[in-house]
């Protein structure tokens, strides 16, 4: 007999039946089979090439073409579809390089109001399953489905397989799902079989599954940290396990302790809904260090738009704007400025963070730039006016109007001069 098994196409429960390569009901080969299928409850859902997928949905003629969502010749790639990725195009890559790798790509400017609308609709579906939904961005979220089996009459895996179908049917895009017993394992699982993937990592297999994985896949291990660890002979999870807890702590302090825990599948962090969200931020790492102020400002504007889109999607506004820079020597600079009135507007975030950037420019060049909103509160609407900046209300009204126009007529319907390259 096979372990607990579910057909991802017809949703037939095949548990207890003889093992088969195809569903006996619909002949689909897309079977989800796992000994812990009905026990795992921590999930990570990730939309596949989200922005590009939405653009392809809205223009079927793009279906079989490489599509890049991003800026102009001097901008960066926001998202690339899977066809474009076959050519080596990746997010945050300079647009000139992406065009060189994939000269036939269709390049589309981002349409954040449209992506926000899709993201909001998907999130509503997630919250029908559980109140414990923790969005990470417009296109991905964690879910804790513990204790929902009785409520919905089906285990989490069954609910998620049905949800995956509904999103594809109702929103015209695909998502990949990871299901496990810890949040970072669910994230690793969702990346394992994209697009349209559904991967499980059970408790019994955790150590074996993790052993060959690169440490860079673990939470909090960025490229710079991964290189530092590699210089110490630590590349894979099994390398960290062999080193041992005490040796890891002696060599790497708190990071060493975290490595020990994560390499053994230990992650006690809960899934935390938006009400506990304290900040929203986006950042981008450059392939080459940048000192040019104009290029840095263009990156800053695109990041401000992404932060604003997430804040608007969640009905939040921030009391504090933040700037993050990483110098060529890997030193990180973080600067903050508190606003008199919370905001969720891209224009306000951008204008308030520009002086912070100007003060740090002499310390360039920089390998990373990021911005965000912190000290988040429910949005209470735009302020009626500002004596120090009489045009602020007009700019706020113009941004809201632009959001509505782009959502209805497309990203190219209206734009700001600063977004042009």
Catalogue the active-site residues: 140
Dist. CA 209–CA 182, nearest whole Å: 13
The DSSP code for 105 is: P
What is the C-alpha separation between 60 and 283, in angstroms, rounded?
31
- Cα separation, 41 vs 47, in Å, equals 19
Q: At a CB cut-off of 8 Å and minimum separation 6, what does 291 contact?
A: 361, 364, 365, 366
Q: Can you give the length of the chain in residues?
A: 421
**CB proximity list for 421: less than 8 A, separation 6 or greater:** 71, 72, 73, 74, 75, 95, 298
3-state helix, strand, coil in the chain (%, to 5): 45, 25, 35
Q: What is the DSSP letter of 13?
A: B
* Token pair of 171 as six digits: 């929103």
Provide the pairing of β-strand 316-327 with 198-200: unpaired
Find, among 155, 58, 62, 102, the residue nearest to 406 by Cα: 58
Please give the Cα distance from 218 to 262 (Å, whole number): 7
> What's the angle, vertex CA 236, arms to CA 231 and CA 238, rounded to 5?
120
Q: Give exposure, 341-366, as e/b (b: 16+ Cβ within 10 Å).
A: ebbbbbbbbbbbbbebbeebeeebeb
Please write down the long-range contacts of 147-153, taking CB distance under 8 Å and 24 or more positions apart. Answer: 147/41, 148/41, 149/38
Rounded to whole angstroms, the Cα distance separating 228 from 216 reads 11
Of 31, 25, 45, 28, nearest to 3 (Cα)? 31
């Amino acid at each position: 007999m096979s372990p607990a098994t579910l057909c991802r196409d017809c949703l037939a429960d095949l548990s207890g039946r003889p093992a088969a390569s195809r569903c006996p009901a619909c002949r689909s080969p897309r079977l989800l089979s796992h000994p812990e299928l009905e026990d795992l409850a921590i999930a990570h859902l990730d939309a596949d090439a989200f922005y590009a997928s939405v653009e392809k949905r809205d223009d079927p003629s793009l279906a079989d073409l490489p599509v890049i969502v991003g800026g102009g010749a001097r901008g960066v790639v926001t998202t690339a579809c899977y066809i474009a990725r076959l050519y080596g195009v990746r997010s945050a890559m300079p647009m000139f390089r992406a065009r060189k790798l994939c000269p036939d790509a269709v390049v589309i400017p981002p349409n954040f109001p449209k992506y926000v609308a899709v993201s909001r609709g998907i999130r509503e579906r997630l919250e029908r399953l559980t109140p414990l939904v923790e969005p990470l961005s417009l296109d991905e979220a964690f879910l804790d489905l513990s204790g929902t089996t009785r409520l919905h009459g089906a285990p989490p895996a069954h609910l998620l397989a049905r949800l995956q179908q509904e999103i594809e049917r109702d929103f015209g895009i695909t998502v990949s799902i990871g299901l496990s017993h810890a949040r970072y394992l669910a994230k690793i699982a969702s990346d394992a079989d994209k697009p349209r993937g559904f991967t499980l990592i059970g408790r019994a297999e955790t150590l074996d599954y993790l052993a060959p994985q690169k440490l860079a896949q673990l939470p909090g291990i960025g490229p710079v940290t991964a290189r530092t660890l590699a210089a110490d002979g630590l590349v894979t999870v099994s390398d960290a396990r062999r080193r041992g807890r005490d040796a890891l702590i002696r060599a790497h302090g708190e990071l060493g302790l975290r490595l020990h825990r994560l390499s053994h599948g230990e992650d006690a962090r809960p899934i935390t809904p938006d009400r506990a969200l304290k900040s929203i931020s986006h950042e981008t790492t450059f392939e080459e260090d940048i000192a040019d102020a104009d290029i840095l400002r263009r990156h800053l504007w695109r990041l401000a738009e992404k932060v604003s889109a997430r804040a608007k999607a969640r009905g939040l506004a921030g009391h504090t704007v933040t700037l993050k820079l990483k110098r060529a020597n890997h030193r990180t600079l973080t600067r903050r400025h508190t606003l008199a009135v919370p905001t969720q507007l891209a224009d306000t975030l951008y204008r308030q963070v520009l002086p912070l950037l100007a003060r740090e420019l002499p310390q360039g060049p920089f390998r990373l730039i990021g911005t965000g909103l912190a000290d988040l509160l429910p949005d209470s609407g735009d302020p009626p006016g500002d004596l120090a900046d009489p045009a602020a209300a007009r700019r706020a009204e113009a941004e809201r109007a632009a959001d509505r126009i782009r959502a209805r007529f497309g990203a190219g319907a209206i734009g700001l001069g600063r977004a042009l390259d």
